[in-house]
Amino acid sequence: MAAPKKKKVITEDLIVSAYTDYCLTHGKKPNSVYEFVKQNAMEESDFYQFFASFEFLEKQYFVSMFAYSLELLEKNEAYQSYESADKLSAFYFTFFEMATANRSFVIYLLKQDKNPMKNLGKLSRLREVYLDYALTILEKPIKIEQETVVKIQDKVLQEASWLQFLSIFNFWMNDESPNFEKTDVFIEKSVKASFDLAYNIPTQSIVDFGKFLWKEQMNGMFSKS
């Protein structure tokens, strides 16, 4: 008697992998969850066990990248003793190394829609977890006792850090240097400059970062002419 067939085990990673492959192969998302699961020998219930929609899957993709990056860092004992600036730099380097390994899909997600705000919306859940992370590693530049003012200061630090993260994201997406070496330079200089600006008297790092940005802008202008 033939042995019964084992039911295919459907995991979150399997669904994401199949979705990634579909989007990159067809240049668009599936027309429906029904169509997607049938093409991948799944049931709709398998998909909905992990994701409420394709849109949720796409947002969760960036959260998973964040979580895995942090997991890798926390396995490194040296990371625990890093100063705030070094922790943030280490996170950026790790996150964008992972983004580079999945560059085609990340670029697809962030350039899929003609409306930039809709593309940016895919980072909304990443923003939530990133802001929480930033609050744990960023030191307060001014010691204040009043609770209301402390909360405002925390919010300013968080939002400034998020804008920095977005600026690195944008630079990386447009980086055409070998092995994205210029993104590494951008991370190093932007973190150094931002910490000097927030915690110290502005130093040469601000000037260096400004020169780097100016050089990249001019190179971009002439390369497109």
pLDDT at 156: 73
DSSP letters of 116-137? HHHHHHTTHHHHHHHHHHHHHH
Calculate the alpha carbon distances from 11 to 44, 69, 70, 164 in Å. 13, 20, 22, 34
Taking only the tens place, the pLDDT of each residue in 93-129 is 999 999 999 999 999 999 988 888 889 999 999 999 9
Whether residue 42 contacts residue 15, with contact meaning beta carbons closer than 8 Å, is answered with: yes
The pLDDT value given to residue 144: 45
Q: pLDDT digits over 18-41, tens only? A: 999 999 999 999 999 999 999 999
* pLDDT value at 10 more than 60: yes
Indicate whether 212 pLDDT > 70: no
| Residue-wise pLDDT tens digits, 140-184 | 544 444 444 445 556 777 888 999 999 999 999 999 999 999 999
The pLDDT, as a whole number, for residue 157 is 79
Give the percent of the chain with pLDDT over 90: 63
Between 109 and 202, the higher pLDDT residue: 109
8 Å CB contact between 122 and 59? yes
Question: What global pTM score does this model have?
Answer: 0.82
